[in-house]
Amino acid sequence: MLNSPYFYLIAAPVLWSGNFIISKGVLVNELPPVTITAARFTIAALGLWVLITASRKRGSRGVGESEGLGLLRKDLPAFIILALTGIFGFNTFVYLAFRYTTAINASLVTGMTPVLTALLSWMILRETMNLRQVSGICLSLGGVVWIITRGSWEVLTALRFNPGDLIMLLAALSWAIYSTLGKKVMTKYPPLTATYHAVWLGLLFLWPVALIELRQNPVTSVSVMAVLGVFYVGIGATILAYLAWNKGVAMIGAGRSGVFQNLLPVFTAVLATVFLSEPVTLSHIIGGTAVLLGVYFTSYVKPASGNLQRPLEQARRLATQPPARR
């Protein structure tokens, strides 16, 4: 089983979905959102440092990081933006959204991140886009609207949206910005090294805000379950998920593995139904299907030659990087 790439590619979204369940069920009930993010990535940063240091000592490129940890000064502004969008912004929005929306809704709304990445890549990087990709963007946007309105025209016309769903849209947009701007960075640095720098820079912004947050909303007690939950999201949903995902991608390639990210809302729905008693409604099925189909149409293009190309594969890879995303 451990020799199968599908074991690792399934394990990663299972671990990511665990972040949604534990955060919704435990963490947001005991800790404020910025504090959760700061604690999570403090643990993750230490884990990343251990991984990269061990890899450099072995001289191994198993995780692609034996090149070193150097950061060029001219790239510092770009990494600061990555830290603010991918580490600080995305995760804070996610944990804030969990106070209002369900884990199922959250996973479905964030599922359109590759679509937003494609749209921003067209707007900012001037990447080409064909009719099929435009259709995919429209389909995904329609699916998200269906989810946040619960398929009700009255909700749409009265603008009675769940604030958590709207916050999740901001989270998806934050990660899309991170993915789009991170494309050039990823040509200079290995993925884990780039994430390492973004995480540590993110902590420089997270902890000052977290301390202010704790001063305004003191946490008098934290349960053992919450402590274990923080370690899970820092280690399991970040470090272990990263290793599992990269192992699977290395075995069968990025093109074939990309589709496995779409298992996140499936696993989240199953776990949320079992552990959080969240119902799976018809609006989830219809909207979620539209989002996933939109992602497929946006990310895969078949040219005239008949060979399958994936011009947005890098966007998808950035949009599914475990350390900061899930």
Q: pLDDT tens for residues 233-244? A: 999 999 999 888
Domain span at residue 71? 5-325
**Greater model confidence, 159 or 184:** 184
Domain count across the chain: 1
Structure tokens, 95: 């944990």
**Angle (nearest 5°) at CA 212 between 210 and 218:** 85
What local confidence, expressed as pLDDT, does residue 51 receive? 84
What local confidence, expressed as pLDDT, does residue 254 receive? 63
Structure tokens, 217: 């909303």
The owner of tokens 């007690």 is: 221
**Cα-based distances in Å from 187 to 85, 179, 191:** 19, 13, 9
Global pTM reads: 0.83
Asked if pLDDT for residue 309 goes beyond 60, the answer is no
Q: What's the whole-number mean pLDDT along residues 222-242?
A: 95
Asked if pLDDT for residue 224 goes beyond 50, the answer is yes
The continuous run of DSSP H or E covering 160 comes out as none
Asked if pLDDT for residue 246 goes beyond 60, the answer is yes
Contact assessment for residue 244 and residue 34, using Cβ atoms and an 8 Å cutoff: no
Structure tokens, 277: 């008693």
Burial classification of residue 279, based on how many CB atoms lie within 10 Å of its CB (0-12 exposed, 13-18 middle, 19 or more buried): exposed
**Top-ranked range on mean pLDDT: pick from 168-177, 239-248, 259-268:** 168-177
Type of residue numbered 119: L
| Local confidence band at 190 (pLDDT 50, 70, 90 cut-offs) | confident
Type of residue numbered 220: T
